[in-house]
Amino acid sequence: MPFITAGDPNLATTAELIRAFDRLDCSICEIGIPYSDPIADGPVIQASYTRSLQKKITVDAILETLGATSSQVRLPLVTMVSYAIVYRIGVQAYVDAALANGVSGLIVPDLPVEEAPTLSAVCRESDVSLIQLVTPTTSRERAKRILDTSTGFIYYVSVTGITGERTELPPEIVENVKWLRENGDLPVCIGFGISEPEHVRQLAPHSDGLIVGSAIVRRMAVEPDPNRVVASVAAYIESLQAEL
Amino acid sequence: MASSSTTASGNVPDHDGRFGKFGGRFVPETLMHALDQLTNEYKKAQRDPQFNAELQELFRDFVGRPSPLYFAKRLSEKVGGAQIWLKREDTNHTGAHKINNTLGQTLLAIRMGKTRVICETGAGQHGVATATACARFGLPCVVYMGEEDVRRQAPNVRSIKLLGAEIRPVTSGSRTLRDAINEAMRDWMSSVHNTHYIIGSVVGPHPFPMIVRDYQSVIGLETIQQSREKFGRLPDTVVACVGGGSNAAGMFFPFIDQAKVELVGIEAGGLGSAPGEHASPLSFGKPGVLHGSFSYVMQDVDGQTCDVHSASAGLDYPGVGPEHSYWKDSGRVRYTDCKDSDALAGFYELARTEGILAALETSHAVAGAMEIAREKKRDEIVVVCLSGRGDKDAAEIERLQSLSKK
């Protein structure tokens, strides 16, 4: 499950990548809506958000691009979006616009379960998933509550920290994901830090999906030839898929 | 969400950290456990006589509390209206109100078994106060500070280093207070198991706005007692500057139920009222989410935080504490703004009439109070929270002065 930042380096590339991920049979594509103050993100995704915002790419323009692209692919699209943005645009208005443009789910990384009821109700009515996160610091009691209200899948955050590539991932992931799968009906996908083929080998058998973000965004940023960006990302995804 | 009430209650926040509709917790799940732990531990500490006795002793012998309530006679005469009294938080150890909060939170950190402290700072006063508290209790301390603020508040940067804390200049975004908070939050995301984040203002997710307000409330509580001793009644008007709003919250909160006392918060009016020229979310912003809390904020139509401006690093912030938003909407506190140039004029007036160098942040309140006092009768009383001393600003004021002459 790839993550890319919308509008980095431009919306045409975002659309082209979505089509490429569809051809590669990725299971879901996560689209990061750039935000000015992303506290859960490491330097790589922060920088991509800044680049995109500097080009004055708006939420309207992003959703329009997703709308034009979603009709061409089978790949479900979900937006990773700060609640600051959802609230300002309007909870109902954002969900309506997402739905109208073929977006099937929302991940709102700064909206814990306690603050989620309003958005959760609107999403349920519109049949848009509200994918909630469970982390290594989440108690089992909280995790049960999150399992009860999350829809689509559970995003298990592999590390106590921010997004970004890691060489080593904590050993308790497998146990925590196992518990989540046993205690709920939702698929459980793992994200944060995943970047190496070795990670895929270790975690794929124990989860329903692996989310790769910073590793893709960084590859795009360092690719010197703008015409090679999509090919370079596709080659990387294939190298990870080879481990499945 | 409940609609805002017409009368502000002193009995806030509620269980979910809401001040009316404002406040709450809009943070990644990773931090929720630590926020719950902090809320629980704070409740226990409030009921622990030993904890409170230790804090009171530190306030008295380490900070030098109570801070004086001082009649600014020559300034009052010069203005020619109400009597202006100064609540002298600038006389505290480390030169500002910030130490009230950092000592309280450092004791909480120790109580929770945390072995490392991080903080953000704008003007550097909170950085100095956190570094001081950490030195006093032997805790390692990392201070995040925007690169622009490292430049304009160099004396505080030096002090922070001398106190043994590590400064990490922040180069992302606008390189000011807002970005320093982002970086401190990111550090905390990875270090939350052993680290306490001492936030410096009444901002951020619950329980921070409540805890910081409570530790700063010593300012208002002392002012009430000293007012009765010095002039036998409560003041007519109380004025404080508002960036995130901690000195104002600490000053105002004990007065909230005293309906006859007028409360005025002064935001940073910067260069003017156009977007980007000021840092006055209560005057010009809209409710939205920033740094884990729902409050007035300067945002564009997409919810992206706007760049703001103030000559004072401590007020150069696009958001404000949620309780101020609650007080604004309920009408209990009036918020207005003061331009950079007026704050500078206030700084000079106080320096030349009273021999007190106020911080640039504080100078906004001084200028605001002068304007209010001018319209009032001589038997009326205006108290200003003199939140911090201005030594740190001497070079920056010289620079601003030479720019304005050009």
List of E strands, A14-153: 29-32, 77-80, 103-107, 129-134
Contact A175, A138 (CB under 8 A): no
Q: State percent of chain A over pLDDT 70.
A: 100
Instruction: Tell me which of B182, B212, B242 is where a domain ends.
Output: B212
* B149 and B240 both lie in a single domain: no
Query: Degrees (nearest 5) of the Cα angle A50, B205, B33?
Result: 105
* B191 and B252 both lie in a single domain: no
User: What domain range is B303 assigned to?
Assistant: 64-95+217-404
Any domain includes B2: no
CATH number for the domain that contains residue B326: 3.40.50.1100
In this predicted structure, the answer to whether residue B329 has a pLDDT above a threshold of 60 is: yes
pLDDT in tens, B331-386: 999 999 999 999 999 999 999 999 999 999 999 999 999 999 999 999 999 999 99
* B105 and B169 both lie in a single domain: yes
Q: Kindly state whether B34 is in contact with chain A, defined as any CB-CB distance less than 8 angstroms.
A: yes
Number of domains forming the structure of chain B: 2
* B122 and B252 both lie in a single domain: no
Residue numbers in B near A83 (CB within 8 A): 26, 289
The phi, psi pair for A137, rounded to 5°, reads -90, 0
Q: Which residues of A50-73 are buried (b: 16+ CB within 10 A; e: fewer)?
A: bbbbeeebbbeebbebbbebbeeb
Contact across the interface for B32 and A53, Cβ inside 8 Å: no
* B104 and B88 both lie in a single domain: no
* Candidates A112, A118, A136; nearest CB to B32: A112
Cross-strand pairs, A3: A30
Select the residue from B15, B26, B32 to test the A interface by mutation, using most A Cβ atoms within 10 A: B26
**Which residue does chain B place closest to A161, by CA atoms?**
B190
pTM: 0.97
Contact across the interface for B25 and A89, Cβ inside 8 Å: no
Residue numbers in A near B303 (CB within 8 A): 35, 82, 84-89
Q: State percent of chain B over pLDDT 70.
A: 98
Q: Kindly state whether B304 is in contact with chain A, defined as any CB-CB distance less than 8 angstroms.
A: yes
Confidence of residue B406 (pLDDT cuts 50, 70, 90): low
List of E strands, A135-204: 154-157, 188-191
List of E strands, B200-328: 237-241, 262-270, 286-290, 293-297
Contact A174, A201 (CB under 8 A): no
* Candidates B185, B302, B303; nearest CB to A39: B185
Q: Which amino acid is at B353?
A: T
* B266 and B319 both lie in a single domain: yes
Catalytic residue numbers of B? 98, 120, 387
Any idea of the CA torsion for B315, B321, B325, B331, to the nearest 10 degrees? -80
pLDDT score at B306: 96
pLDDT score at B113: 98
Mean pLDDT of B14-19: 97
Catalytic residue numbers of A? 30, 41
pLDDT in tens, B274-297: 999 999 999 999 999 999 999 999
pLDDT score at A206: 97
Contact across the interface for B25 and A114, Cβ inside 8 Å: yes
pLDDT score at B5: 46
User: Residue B40, Cβ neighbours under 10 Å: how many?
Assistant: 12
In this predicted structure, the answer to whether residue B405 has a pLDDT above a threshold of 80 is: no
pLDDT score at A79: 98
* B38 and B54 both lie in a single domain: yes
In this predicted structure, the answer to whether residue A143 has a pLDDT above a threshold of 60 is: yes
Question: How are beta strands A29-32 and A3-5 bridged, if at all?
Answer: parallel
* B89 and B127 both lie in a single domain: no
Mean pLDDT of B211-239: 98
pLDDT score at B404: 77
CATH of domain A3-241: 3.20.20.70
For B192, the token pair is 């939350």
Confidence of residue B130 (pLDDT cuts 50, 70, 90): very high
Which residues touch B240 (CB under 8 Å, ≥6 apart)?
A: B247, B248, B251, B252, B264, B265, B266, B365, B384, B385, B387
Mean pLDDT of B188-200: 97
Mean pLDDT for chain A overall: 97
Which residues touch A166 (CB under 8 Å, ≥6 apart)?
A: A158, A159, A192, A193, A194, A195
* Candidates A134, A146, A162; nearest CB to B190: A162
Any domain includes B3: no
pLDDT score at B1: 41
pLDDT in tens, B237-253: 999 999 999 999 999 99
In this predicted structure, the answer to whether residue A123 has a pLDDT above a threshold of 70 is: yes
Instruction: Tell me which of B152, B178, B212 is where a domain ends.
Output: B212
The phi, psi pair for B385, rounded to 5°, reads -80, 105
Instruction: Tell me which of B212, B232, B265 is where a domain ends.
Output: B212
Any domain includes B371: yes
Query: At B345, which helix (H) or strand (E)?
Result: helix B340-354
Cα B120 to chain centroid, rounded: 13
Q: State percent of chain A over pLDDT 90.
A: 100
Tell whether ipTM is more than 0.95. Answer: yes
pLDDT score at A44: 97
* B123 and B152 both lie in a single domain: yes
Mean pLDDT of B32-44: 98
Q: Which amino acid is at B114?
A: K
Confidence of residue B173 (pLDDT cuts 50, 70, 90): confident
> Among B55, B82, B56, which Cα is nearest to B71's?
B82
pLDDT score at A169: 94
Contact B211, B42 (CB under 8 A): yes
Location of structure tokens 């007065």: B255
Poorest-pLDDT segment among A46-50, B69-73, B115-119, B173-177: B173-177
> Among B215, B210, B216, which Cα is nearest to B321's?
B210
* B260 and B157 both lie in a single domain: no
Cα B133 to chain centroid, rounded: 17
Distance, CA of B257 to CA of A211 (rounded, Å):
52
* B52 and B78 both lie in a single domain: no
> What is the three-class DSSP state of B82?
coil
